[in-house]
C-alpha cells in the first residue's frame, strides 16, 4: 500500500483594514493598539521596522504629526512596535484613564438600552481600563444590579451565576425567550360550529332598521324627508347670512295670504292687512 506524504500547510497573508487613529479620542487608543497587534500577524509582517511602518501608515491628525516629528528629528526613532506603543500610551493616553472609567463602570445601568447594548457598554468600559481590571465578583454584581426590573433580572437572581460570563449567558437566553414569547401570535383554528353573535350589536342595529322602515329622518327623527334634505343638516345650511331667513319669510307670507280677508274684487289689497278703524 503506497504511503502519501503529508503536504505542508501554507498560510496566505490576509489583507486587513485598520481604522486610522487621529489622537482626538484618547480612549480609542486601547482598541486601535489591539487591532494593530492583530493585523501584522494576519498580514505576515514579522520585521520590526516593517511593523512600525504599518502602524505609521494608520495614524493621522495630531498622532501622525507627533510620530513623524519624532521620526524626522531622529530617523529610526521607533525601533519596534512595542516601543512605539509605549510612547503612544505615555504621550496620548491620560494617566488616570482607569480612574475615570471605573466610576462609569460601577454606575452603569441598562436603562432604556437593549440587553445586547448594555453588555457591549460594560465590555467597552472594562477594556478602556487597561491594566486595572475588576474581579469577576465585582463585574457580576455590577451587571446583575444594572439589569432593569423584569423577567431577565428575576431569572438572574434565581439562577445565581458564578461569574460574569455565566451571568451574561443566562441573561441573553432569558431575554431571547421573553422576546420570542411576546412576538409569537397563537394560531386560532376556525371552528366548524355556529359562530355566536354579539347581543350588543344586534340591539344597536334594531333602532336603525325600525327608523329606516318608518320613513323618519336620521337627523331630526321627523317624518316626511330624508337626512340629505333635512333642514337641520349642517351641509344644507345657507352659506350667506343674508339668505338665512328666506325660508321663514316665505312661510310667513303664505300664512298671511291664507288668513287675510279678501277685498271687494276678491283680491287682498295692502289695506286689508291693516286693522280697520271703527266707522
Q: Is residue 279 part of a domain?
A: no
Same domain, 123 and 58: no
- Domain termination site, one of 181, 210, 242: 181
CB-count burial class (<10 Å; 0-12, 13-18, 19+) for 155: middle
- Grid cell, residue 66, equals 507627533
Give me the residue label for grid cell 280697520. Answer: 276
Query: pLDDT at position 89, please?
Result: 85
What pLDDT shows up at residue 91?
A: 86
Residue 132 lies in a domain: yes
What stretches in the chain show pLDDT beneath 70? 1-10, 131, 184-215, 235-252, 254, 257-279
Q: Is residue 144 assigned to a domain?
A: yes
Same domain, 116 and 129: yes
Q: Is residue 110 part of a domain?
A: yes
Same structural domain, 76 and 119: no
Domain count for the chain:
2
d(CA 217, CA 229): 9
Provide the pLDDT for residue 195. 46
The pLDDT value given to residue 43: 84
Q: 47 and 121 in one domain?
A: no
Same domain, 85 and 111: no
Which residues span the domain enclosing 127? 97-181
pLDDT of 203 reads: 47
Residue 37 within any structural domain of the chain:
yes
Residue 170 near residue 161 (C-beta atoms within 8 A): yes
Question: Model confidence over 144-155: pLDDT tens digits?
Answer: 999 999 999 999
Closest to 70 (Cα-Cα) out of 58, 52, 95, 94: 52
Same domain, 115 and 62: no
Specify whether 116 is located in the same domain as 172. Answer: yes
222 falls within a domain: no
Based on the domain organization, do 51 and 110 belong to the same domain? no
Say whether both 63 and 44 belong to one domain. Answer: yes
What global pTM score does this model have?
0.52
Judge whether 211 lies within some domain.
Answer: no
- Cβ proximity of 161 and 185 under 8 Å: no
103 & 44 share domain: no
Burial per residue of 78-115, b for 16 or more beta-carbon CB atoms within 10 angstroms, e otherwise? beebeebbeebbeebeeeebeeebbeebeebebeeeeb
Give the model's pLDDT for residue 200.
47
Q: Are 79 and 48 in contact (CB under 8 A)?
A: yes
Residue 77 CB contacts under 8 Å (≥ 6 apart), including other chains: 70, 71
Residue 207 located in a structural domain: no
Amino acid at each position: 500500500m503506497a504511503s502519501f506524504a503529508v503536504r505542508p500547510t501554507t498560510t496566505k497573508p490576509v489583507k486587513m483594514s485598520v481604522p486610522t487613529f487621529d489622537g482626538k479620542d484618547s480612549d480609542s487608543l486601547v482598541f486601535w493598539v489591539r487591532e494593530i497587534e492583530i493585523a501584522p500577524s494576519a498580514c505576515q509582517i514579522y520585521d520590526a521596522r516593517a511593523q512600525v511602518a504599518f502602524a505609521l501608515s494608520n495614524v493621522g491628525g495630531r498622532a501622525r504629526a507627533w510620530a513623524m516629528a519624532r521620526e524626522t528629528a531622529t530617523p529610526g526613532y521607533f525601533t519596534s512596535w512595542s516601543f512605539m506603543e509605549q510612547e503612544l500610551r505615555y504621550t496620548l493616553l491620560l494617566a488616570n484613564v482607569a480612574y475615570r472609567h471605573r466610576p462609569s463602570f460601577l454606575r452603569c445601568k441598562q436603562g432604556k438600552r437593549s440587553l445586547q447594548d448594555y453588555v457591549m457598554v460594560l465590555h467597552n468600559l472594562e477594556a478602556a481600563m487597561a491594566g486595572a481590571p475588576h474581579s469577576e465578583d465585582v463585574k457580576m454584581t455590577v451587571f446583575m444590579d444594572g439589569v432593569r426590573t423584569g423577567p431577565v433580572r428575576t431569572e438572574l437572581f434565581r439562577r445565581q451565576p458564578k461569574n460574569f460570563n455565566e451571568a451574561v449567558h443566562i441573561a441573553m437566553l432569558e431575554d431571547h425567550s421573553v422576546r420570542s414569547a411576546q412576538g409569537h401570535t397563537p394560531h386560532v383554528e376556525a371552528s366548524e360550529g355556529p359562530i355566536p353573535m354579539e347581543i350588543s350589536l344586534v340591539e344597536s342595529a334594531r333602532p336603525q332598521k325600525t327608523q329606516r322602515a318608518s320613513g323618519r329622518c336620521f337627523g331630526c327623527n321627523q317624518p316626511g324627508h330624508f337626512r340629505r334634505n333635512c333642514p337641520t343638516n349642517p351641509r344644507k345650511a345657507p352659506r350667506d347670512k343674508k339668505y338665512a331667513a328666506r325660508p321663514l319669510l316665505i312661510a310667513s307670507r303664505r300664512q298671511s295670504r291664507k288668513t287675510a280677508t279678501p277685498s271687494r274684487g276678491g283680491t287682498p289689497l295692502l289695506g286689508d292687512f291693516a286693522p280697520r278703524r271703527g266707522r
